[in-house]
Chain A
Amino acid sequence: MTVSWAPVVYSDVAGSILMLLFSCWCAIHSWQLTKKRPDADFFNYLFLFTMAIVFFAISRSFGHLIKYLLFLNDMELVWQRIAPFSGAVNSTAFVVIFAFGISFHRFQKVHMEIENYRDNLEKMIATRTDELERAKNTLENILNNSNPINITGVNFDLLQANEAYYSIWPRVEESSEAIKCYESRPGIYCHTDACPLKLIVEGHEEVVQEVSKKIQGESRDFITTARPFRDVDGQLIGMVESFQDISLRKQAERVLIEMDNIKSEFISTAAHELNTPLSSMLGYTEFLRNPEKFGGFTDEQKNEFIEEVHVNAEALSRIVADLLDISRIESGKPVPMDLQEEDFVAVLRKKVRSFSLHHSGRNFRLDLPSEIVQPMLVIDRHRINQALENLLSNAVKYSPEEQEIVITGRENMAGWEIRISDQGIGMSADQLKRIFEKFYRGDASNTATEGLGLGMCIAKQSIEAHGGSIRVESTEGKGTTVILNLPYVAA
């Protein structure tokens, strides 16, 4: 069988050209690889190994191409001269490649050790980084969830502060220069001898001060504690200042003082309120006990005295009843109720008439609908009387004699709405807010009216015990209207 020699020649020529191309390409890649990791010994090894391979490939390919060129030009003899050198170069390259091959394990060992070392190092770094990250997060959490804290340098630079700090002292617009503490939180101690940083620098180990600040219109009080902030060598580099919010404590102190004042005022008022009817009763009983001392009295006069004693005793009884009611309300017990179906309109009419009789100088006007559909309500007559009495007596107390007091009653779907309006001194918004507080007497010093300051509180409790509601509308200097709603059936 005869086969063409052309495939051999073509594969030799084309293969040699391709080998030259691949070799150059490999050399370039290998060089770039070494440049990328100049510190990696193994890549340096790969570079040298590739260079040896490339050298072999180039010499062999050139050998082939030169051979065919010479053969084409009938220069076989020249090739016979060159061929031994070409073969020798190839053999040399083989030996070099062999050397690289068998020394691979040395590089491999070093490479593996480095890889292991790198892996361990990376793991260690990752573990440590994770630990540090967690520790940092924990510290940040603690710092941001604690009281406001800041660190100030000895040159008054605000070095660091937590989120809580910035919730009180907002961030100053950032600039290239450090923010000074007196810019961040200007206060009464800034630039004075009481400056905490100044005291720390002077050698104080702890500086405690009280500061106040208005935050969103609300006054807040803080205790600031400043301590030295030192570096690892113990050198003072600033101060750590923490802020403890004592606003609630301060508020409680203020309430306590107010309560104390109310108590003193109540004792004084109660003594006066109890003393007035008692003095009157003592006076009349003295008349009755020793009439001859006062020149004697007629039977009619004696009956009047007894009546006065009775009226004053009733007044005392009412005061004591009020105090008992308040005591019951205070202790959380419900107001005792004796609910009966009553003609509420008749109760209201009677109470207004009674007030008209007792306050003959005052003008009361009862305004009721011409046709009443449902006058009957389920109520505790005594409690409703007590509430109406308190409200009417307030209207009498706080309005001038010549002004009319209007009592309006209207039926609605749910029950009755009663409005008691006077054209008296009225109340300020602050007084209006506190009107139902026990022992509260609106501007008692100026009005100098009698009472323990329990009427409105008791009235509210009584009306609400019926399932009704009470509210007050008032304009200072123009008058007050108390609006109460009573359901047909107490809830």
Chain B
Amino acid sequence: MSTGRLRAALIVLAVILQSSPAWAVQAHGGAEGLVSHQIGHLLFTIGMGYLLFRLRSMRTESSGWFEFKIFILLLIAWNIMTFTGHWMNAFVADETFVKVHTSVLSMKIETAQDAIYYLTRLDHLILVPSFAFLLLALRKWRMAP
């Protein structure tokens, strides 16, 4: 096994073993959980950015590649959005949420961080279109002669 592959395997193993209740999606309770998840987002973004950069140097005139590039761009945007959301989560106080038992009914937006956090929670508005573009790209490649 090459050094690169070994390194990648160790990273994956470390991420799995370090899981704790603090890594919940809603509230990445512990700092270590949040950081690991955020690093995941960063890697995701870097990987997609690199892919997009490579795609620019490739002959991609044939159909499907434009949609694929849009998909990558939206994925990068989504990563940035969720990364920001996770980050802002740390600054949003529990009192900001109006709850009935465990259900959140509304949110009191008092700071800029609150507003950014609220917007980043609507991340599916970017993620769903990005997958639609991936589907379009795959469909075009499949239909191509």
User: CB-CB < 8 A to A86: which residues of B?
Assistant: 24-25
User: CB-CB < 8 A to B81: which residues of A?
Assistant: none
User: CB-CB < 8 A to B51: which residues of A?
Assistant: 100-102, 104
Contact flags (1/0) for B56-79 with A, using CB distance below 8 Å?
001100000000000000010000
B24 to chain A, nearest CB (A): 3
Q: Is the CB–CB distance between A104 and B131 below 8 Å?
A: no
Q: Is the CB–CB distance between B24 and A22 below 8 Å?
A: no
Query: Bound state CA distance, A87 and B21, in angstroms?
Result: 10
B129 to chain A, nearest CB (A): 10
Q: Is the CB–CB distance between B24 and A8 below 8 Å?
A: no
Of B36, B48, B54, B135, which is within 8 A of A29 by CB?
B135
User: CB-CB < 8 A to B102: which residues of A?
Assistant: 71, 74, 76
Q: Is the CB–CB distance between B128 and A95 below 8 Å?
A: no
Query: Bound state CA distance, A72 and B107, in angstroms?
Result: 18
Q: Which of A11-19, A291-299, A474-482 contacts B (4 or more CB under 8 A)?
A: A11-19
B122 in contact (CB, < 8 A): yes
Of A83, A94, A115, which is within 8 A of B44 by CB?
A94
User: CB-CB < 8 A to B21: which residues of A?
Assistant: 80-81, 83-84
User: CB-CB < 8 A to B25: which residues of A?
Assistant: 63-64, 67, 83, 86-87, 90
User: CB-CB < 8 A to B58: which residues of A?
Assistant: 108, 111-112
A215 in contact (CB, < 8 A): no
Q: Which of A30-38, A143-151, A193-201, A349-357 contacts B (4 or more CB under 8 A)?
A: A30-38
Q: Is the CB–CB distance between B37 and A2 below 8 Å?
A: no
Interface majority SS (helix, strand, loop, mixed), chain A: helix
Of B18, B26, B40, B46, which is within 8 A of A90 by CB?
B40
User: CB-CB < 8 A to A57: which residues of B?
Assistant: 127, 131
B12 in contact (CB, < 8 A): yes
In the complex with contacts A22-B128, A91-B36, A84-B12 CB distance below 8 A: no
Q: Is the CB–CB distance between A19 and B124 below 8 Å?
A: yes
| Interface core residue of B46, B107, B123, B131 (most chain A CB under 10 Å) | B131
Q: Is the CB–CB distance between B36 and A3 below 8 Å?
A: no
A166 in contact (CB, < 8 A): no
B80 to chain A, nearest CB (A): 13
Interface majority SS (helix, strand, loop, mixed), chain B: helix
Of B11, B15, B105, B134, which is within 8 A of A5 by CB?
B105
A53 to chain B, nearest CB (A): 7
Q: Is the CB–CB distance between B122 and A104 below 8 Å?
A: no
B33 to chain A, nearest CB (A): 7
Contact flags (1/0) for B21-33 with A, using CB distance below 8 Å?
1111110100001
Q: Is the CB–CB distance between A67 and B134 below 8 Å?
A: no
B87 to chain A, nearest CB (A): 15
Contact flags (1/0) for B125-139 with A, using CB distance below 8 Å?
101100110110011
Q: Is the CB–CB distance between B19 and A3 below 8 Å?
A: no
Q: Is the CB–CB distance between A94 and B40 below 8 Å?
A: yes
In the complex with contacts A94-B41, A104-B54, A108-B54, A87-B28 CB distance below 8 A: yes
Of A1, A16, A72, A88, which is within 8 A of B16 by CB?
A88
Q: Is the CB–CB distance between B97 and A26 below 8 Å?
A: no
In the complex with contacts A5-B105, A88-B19, A95-B15, A83-B24 CB distance below 8 A: yes
In the A-B complex, the 5 residue pairs with the closest CB atoms: A15-B124, A101-B47, A83-B24, A98-B47, A94-B40
Would you give 13 A-B contacts (Cβ < 8 Å), ordered by A?
A1-B109, A4-B105, A7-B122, A19-B128, A50-B134, A57-B127, A88-B16, A88-B18, A91-B15, A94-B41, A95-B8, A101-B50, A102-B51
- Mark A residues whose CB is within 8 Å of B: 1-5, 7-9, 11-12, 14-16, 18-19, 22-23, 25-26, 29-30, 32-33, 36, 43, 46, 50, 53, 57, 63-64, 67, 71-72, 74, 76, 79-81, 83-88, 90-92, 94-102, 104-105, 108, 111-112, 115
- Mark B residues whose CB is within 8 Å of A: 8, 11-12, 15-16, 18-26, 28, 33, 36-37, 39-41, 43-44, 46-51, 54-55, 58-59, 75, 97-98, 101-110, 118, 121-125, 127-128, 131-132, 134-135, 138-139, 141-142
